[in-house]
Structure 1
Amino acid sequence: MRITITESVEPLLELKSPREFAQVFYDILQIHQWLYEHAGILYRDLSIGNIMCRRIGNRVYGVLNDFDVSSYVRDLGLESSKDRRGTRPFMAYDLLSKEWTGEHMYRHDLESLFCIMLIVCCNYRRPNRRADRRPYSNWFLGVDAEVRWRKKTFLLSTGDISTNIQNYFLGFEQWLTTLSSWLRSGYKESLALQEREEREEEEGEVKPFDFATLGGRITYKEMNDLMCSFQDQPLETRPTGGNPNN
């Protein structure tokens, strides 16, 4: 007989206030950074179902669950780690393409965190209560190529996503509009450079661009600076997590 004993944790969508959601999202960012920079592990499957929370007194802590598809950073260049990983609605745009031959980068997971926050704030009117109008519900439908096309349309759109945020989650407007702006400008520059790559290589005029961070836009530092406070009030920076001042 085999017995497994685990601590009691709650699903993400059972949190009780927007600020609790903000703290848990920030905790997940800090956990992800610590795993990557100190333990040498890239998680590779951020989704609503894999984010849990733990309550101790009146405080809530984010918990990252299910490491089945995570990889050691040192192994990311190996063939065995090049399989595209993730849960389709939350996967980064790059990883939804069969033509993607690069590594799974940490900024892909940060893009997944953005997708989680976007879907929670726009498709749910309250915790565990789906909204009548769910603007990103079609990210859950179809094969990779279809979802990728929808995400490309979203990423390159100039529309105001704040109109899709439910009233309960309006405090996330700054986070979501800022992150969508970073992703939009980063992917536009990335796609434009890739289209000109062959011609510029022939002319010797290749413009430097850091694809690993979308031109320095999607990094732990930028994300920490943005997410370390919610509605002008600081969130808790955990001792082993990311430091917004680093």
Structure 2
Amino acid sequence: MAEAICFWAQSLVSTFSAFGEKVERGKQIEMFPHQPLSSLEAAKEYAQVFYDILQCHHNYPKILHCDISQGNVMVHEINGVDHDVLDDWNLATLVDKLSPGPASQFRTGTKPYMAHEQQRPKWKGPHRYRHDLESVFYVMTLFTFLYSTPSEKVLNAIDEDYHFERWHQKDDEYLGSKKHDLIGEPDWDPPVTQFFIGFKQWLIQLHMCFFHGFQKQKVSRCPIPSQDLLQPFLTAMQPQIQQTRSFDEETLDGFIACEHMALTMHEFGGEELDTRSAEWQELLTQILKSSRVAA
């Protein structure tokens, strides 16, 4: 079913050019009846929905949603089984059509859930796969903090460090700063409610992927010291320096990649979540095998 949902998204995104100009093709798009995220009843069902998003993004990596938010994560039931549906593809685009350009071409999305890089005044794009994944991280973070049950918000919720309760009222400057601080915090303790306590380990592990990825990005952007002054040191460290300089921005050198996310998200509370395709199951088997070998 994940393939069907993603094909629907692919059909929709094909009606737009890179920056939202409509194209006269593919107008007939099948719509699936769906319910809001709050319609689910168990924490594990929420985990499955977020895991479905990861699987869908892997199966169609060249489609970027560009506006993942709590309101756009929906649920579609088939034969008694809930499946994730990402709604509202008005801002979606194809990776092949993206190119660097003015920030106004890329600065789209719902502010509390946007990747923090996109909220910097000097950000010039492009929107990347990892930006969608960072948005998913913020959806999980805010939902598991602000809700005591799927349909009930926490009264007077206050987070003293990052003030998640204010994120829906603040601007890019405030949110970008808070998210930057959150990503850079090495010992973050997610303030989840009791109903969503199972998400705590997920959030810790996913946060560490972003933390290490952006730390490595920071190192890769450091200026090279004077070679005359540090020539002996540079000669000895040349292999490591070369490796750092070839930093992969798409995945933050692999830290924000499908493999790392799947290793955390394939199970919840000690129980295996559902895979939606044979291709994904094969990939997951390889990931788990590699993880055991590395351990």
TM-score of the two chains, using structure 1 as the length reference:
0.87
Shift of 1:185: 2.2
3-state SS of paired residue (1:137) = helix
Contact 1:123 1:130 in 2 (8 A): yes
Identify the range of structure 1 (152-161 vs 218-227) with the bigger mean alpha-carbon deviation.
Answer: 152-161
Are residue 16 (structure 1) and residue 14 (structure 2) matched? no
Are residue 138 (structure 1) and residue 166 (structure 2) matched? yes
Q: How does 1:1-246 map to 2 (within 5 A)?
A: 6-36=31-61, 40-77=62-99, 79=101, 82-132=105-155, 133-135=157-159, 136-162=164-190, 164-194=191-221, 196=222, 199-200=223-224, 203=227, 207-208=244-245, 209-239=247-277, 242=280, 243-246=283-286
Change (3 A) 1:202 1:175: same
Contact 1:52 1:63 in 2 (8 A): yes
Amino acid at match of 2:270: D
- Deviations, residues 86-132 of structure 1 (Å, cap 9, x unaligned): 21111111111121124111011111111111111111111021112
3-state SS of paired residue (1:125) = strand
- Matched residue pairs, number? 236
The whole-number CA distance in structure 1 between the counterparts of 2:123 and 2:226 is: 23
The whole-number CA distance in structure 2 between the counterparts of 1:82 and 1:30 is: 28
The whole-number CA distance in structure 2 between the counterparts of 1:218 and 1:72 is: 19
Contact 2:101 2:126 in 1 (8 A): no
Larger Rg: 2
The whole-number CA distance in structure 1 between the counterparts of 2:225 and 2:251 is: 22
What is the Cα-based RMSD across aligned positions, in Å? Answer: 2.4
3-state SS of paired residue (1:178) = helix
Percentage of identical aligned residues: 30
The whole-number CA distance in structure 2 between the counterparts of 1:131 and 1:178 is: 24
3-state SS of paired residue (1:19) = helix
Gap runs ≥5 in structure 2: 1-28, 228-233, 235-240, 287-295
3-state SS of paired residue (1:107) = helix
The whole-number CA distance in structure 2 between the counterparts of 1:137 and 1:233 is: 31
The whole-number CA distance in structure 1 between the counterparts of 2:278 and 2:127 is: 24
Amino acid at match of 1:184: F
Contact 1:186 1:215 in 2 (8 A): yes
Shift of 1:52: 0.4
Contact 2:100 2:126 in 1 (8 A): no
The whole-number CA distance in structure 2 between the counterparts of 1:178 and 1:185 is: 11
Contact 2:68 2:109 in 1 (8 A): yes
Contact 1:27 1:238 in 2 (8 A): yes
RCO higher in 1 or 2 (8 Å CA, sep ≥ 6)? 1
Gap runs ≥5 in structure 1: none
3-state SS of paired residue (1:161) = coil
Contact 1:122 1:134 in 2 (8 A): no
TM-score of the two chains, using structure 2 as the length reference:
0.73
